[in-house]
Amino acid sequence: MGRVTLPDQVGTPTTASTAAAESGAAQEVLRRVFGYDRFRGDQAEIVAHVIDGGDALVLMPTGGGKSLCYQVPALVRPGVGVVVSPLIALMQDQVDALSALGVRAGFLNSTQYPDERRTVEAQFVAGELDLLYLAPERLRLESTTQLLARGEIALFAIDEAHCVSQWGHDFRPDYLELSVLHQRWPKVPRVALTATATERTRDEIVHRLDLGSSRQFVASFDRPNIQYRIEPKNRPERQLLDFIRTEHAGDAGIVYCLSRNSVEKTAAFLNENGISAVPYHAGLDNRVRAANQSRFLREEGLVVVATIAFGMGIDKPDVRFVAHLDLPKSVEGYYQETGRAGRDGQPSTAWMVYGLADVVQQRKLIDNSEGDAAHRRQLQLHLDAMLALCETVGCRRTRLLAYFGQPDQTPCGNCDTCLTPPESWDGTVAAQKLLSTVLRLKRERGQSFGAGHIIEILLGKQNPKVLQYDHHELKVFGIGTDLRDTEWRGVVRQLLAAGLLAVHGDYGVLTLTEASNEVLFDGRKVPLRREPERAAKPARAAKSPKVAVELAPADASLFDRLRKWRAATAKEQGVPAYVVFHDATLREIAARKPASLAELGAISGIGENKLAKYGAGVLEVLAEE
């Protein structure tokens, strides 16, 4: 039986239940506990399958609604739903959010005091929990398996299941232990969930978690409310400031940088320019880091500047933009990070600046990385795919979706290349000039140099380094004055992305590839994307987001009052504002102005528990003039 503390319980589906009864029970839980009218996409089918005892692999993009896929079955099936999650820092918030719904949840991880842990363990054994969140490393402890054996388990949910993939971008060795679950509890259904799913990762999850006979549910990976944009990098901090000021003033957002140093600098720069921002990276004191994360979750309109260490599993629904000031290492990483924008389905922006230095830097990281040649090759493949996305002249979204196994989509109309299609030009001669400079230096002098120096030679600059090496005597000296420095950098970048040139080592020296010869000697054409002087601003349409419910001015002021009430309530209870209600719910309240508890309860996102807890408060705000 579901263990939600509801006035009258739903019928028990455990004995000889029919699919219809199960789906009735699931529907009931969805409505009463979560306050939602209907399941989205595959949710209904997944939930029914798991309630029925089946294993499932669920692939859904961030914000797709994965949580309900195990939370609802955990409430309907007898026993406790055990959720394995690597997101230790977020377990408290997850448990708080569930408690606000009247769901009995607890967690076990290394951050707890032993007596806290003992309390949760006792609750588990006594069957007083609906959901138990567990850090994967706990499964290595014999005491954990002994504990689990003492309670009744409704299901195992394996969140962020791609962490089991050794060649993926997020490998966690403890995840390999998860195959024990199946051996030990063969009858308990398992749901593995991830938002990262190339076919290779998917196969690896199935293989390592022994999910061969599970049903796979693959949702569309599209996030239509996110606008994708990638611009040439020139003055990244200025570009970021412009972007935030013109499109996202007052919005919550995440800015990703590669290094701790640039995180600190960027956060300081934003603050100096009137945009509240906090840094987040592994070098910060634990307490400072936790405090900054907590501020981001709780305050409205705060920007967090972070290394990739930030944000996994962040369930803040109203992040309006994700900005990258450095190139992510893989398309998987990029998609996961950008996916943290707009979980609430409202219009959001994924914005990135990228330049030649990024390619050189990433290549250097690969050359210096630990691991064998195969591992480095893998990293290079990840980088190549990311570069191809950056340099595409086609729709970014169709490219992303093709990467995640959904080819043949039509152009989206909501990415930069769709909104302002880039011009292309015949870069064959430019490419030949550049490649032959690299070739001559190697052949005639046995030398290799980085892009900067090669470009100086092409531009005919008689600088000290050129003179020192007598490079002004080369035949190619000054043959490239028809392009500007930035244009040449664009040429190098695009040749690198296309594999027509390679870059290596600490100094980022350029070398030729097999394919370079096709350009130099076999007449291979090189179409290039024109470097805009300045990135074109997106079409206006994209700037005035279409919200789920449009508010009239009077309703907007009511919405503001509701937000103030929510902020006060959340503060009093020590939870993030969205744990009380989402923006979308408040907006709907402001537009519909329910006059009674019954009317209020009909609004999406208000289940029985929240109605009981907050209903009177909301009606009071509505009654105020």
- Looking up tokens 């051996």 gives 183
- Contact partner at residue 267 from ligand ADP, Zn ion, none, CB < 5 to 8 Å by partner kind: none
- Contact partner at residue 221 from ligand ADP, Zn ion, none, CB < 5 to 8 Å by partner kind: none
Using DSSP bridges, classify how beta strands 509-511 and 502-504 pair: parallel, antiparallel or unpaired: antiparallel
- Contact partner at residue 412 from ligand ADP, Zn ion, none, CB < 5 to 8 Å by partner kind: Zn ion
Q: In this structure, are residues 141 and 102 in contact, taking their beta carbons and an 8 Å threshold?
A: no
Across-strand partners of 132?
82, 106
Interface residues for ligand ADP in 311-370 (CB under 6 A)?
315, 317, 343-344
Least Å distance between CB 164 and ligand ADP?
18
Least Å distance between CB 345 and ligand ADP?
7
Query: What is the DSSP-derived secondary structure letter of residue 450?
Result: B
Using DSSP bridges, classify how beta strands 303-306 and 253-256 pair: parallel, antiparallel or unpaired: parallel
Task: Report the residue from 25, 30, 158, 418 that binds Zn ion according to the rule CB under 5 A.
Answer: 418
Least Å distance between CB 393 and Zn ion?
11
- C-beta closer to ligand ADP: residue 34 or 124: 34
Does 453 help bind ligand ADP (rule: CB under 6 A)? Answer: no
Does 135 help bind ligand ADP (rule: CB under 6 A)? Answer: no
- Contact partner at residue 39 from ligand ADP, Zn ion, none, CB < 5 to 8 Å by partner kind: ligand ADP
- Contact partner at residue 363 from ligand ADP, Zn ion, none, CB < 5 to 8 Å by partner kind: none
Q: In this structure, are residues 139 and 145 in contact, taking their beta carbons and an 8 Å threshold?
A: yes
- Contact partner at residue 32 from ligand ADP, Zn ion, none, CB < 5 to 8 Å by partner kind: none
CA distance 263 to 156: 37
> What Rg, from alpha-carbon coordinates, does the chain have?
27
Does 585 help bind ligand ADP (rule: CB under 6 A)? Answer: no
Does 586 help bind ligand ADP (rule: CB under 6 A)? Answer: no
Q: In this structure, are residues 589 and 603 in contact, taking their beta carbons and an 8 Å threshold?
A: yes
Helix axis angle, 514-521 relative to 428-445, nearest 10°?
110
Cβ contacts of 90 within 8 Å, gap of 6 or more: 313, 314, 315
- C-beta closer to Zn ion: residue 394 or 478: 394
CA distance 323 to 257: 9
Least Å distance between CB 392 and Zn ion?
10
Task: Report the residue from 284, 412, 438, 558 that binds Zn ion according to the rule CB under 5 A.
Answer: 412
- C-beta closer to ligand ADP: residue 71 or 432: 71
Query: What is the DSSP-derived secondary structure letter of residue 488?
Result: H
Query: What is the DSSP-derived secondary structure letter of residue 333?
Result: H
Least Å distance between CB 548 and ligand ADP?
11
Task: Report the residue from 415, 483, 519, 606 that binds Zn ion according to the rule CB under 5 A.
Answer: 415
Phi, psi for 473 (deg, rounded to 5): -90, -5
Task: Report the residue from 395, 458, 580, 618 that binds Zn ion according to the rule CB under 5 A.
Answer: 395
CA distance 621 to 611: 14
Least Å distance between CB 417 and Zn ion?
6
Interface residues for ligand ADP in 8-67 (CB under 6 A)?
36, 39-40, 43, 60, 62-67
- Contact partner at residue 315 from Zn ion, ligand ADP, none, CB < 5 to 8 Å by partner kind: ligand ADP
User: Site size for Zn ion, by CB under 5 A?
Assistant: 6
- C-beta closer to ligand ADP: residue 90 or 412: 90
- Contact partner at residue 450 from ligand ADP, Zn ion, none, CB < 5 to 8 Å by partner kind: none
Least Å distance between CB 414 and Zn ion?
6
- Contact partner at residue 415 from ligand ADP, Zn ion, none, CB < 5 to 8 Å by partner kind: Zn ion
Report CA 378 to chain centroid distance, whole Å.
21
CA distance 225 to 47: 25
Least Å distance between CB 418 and Zn ion?
3
CA distance 472 to 145: 72
Report CA 27 to chain centroid distance, whole Å.
29
CA distance 355 to 351: 14
Reading the block at residue 107, the tokens are 């967690």
Binding segment toward Zn ion, per CB under 5 A, in 1-9, 20-28, 72-80, 413-421? 413-421
- Identify the sign of the CA torsion 573, 577, 582, 587: positive
First to last CA, the chain: 45
CA distance 191 to 161: 9
CA distance 352 to 339: 13
- Contact partner at residue 66 from Zn ion, ligand ADP, none, CB < 5 to 8 Å by partner kind: ligand ADP
Where along the sequence are the contacts to Zn ion (CB under 5 A)?
395, 397, 411-412, 415, 418
Where along the sequence are the contacts to ligand ADP (CB under 6 A)?
36, 39-40, 43, 60, 62-68, 315, 317, 343-344
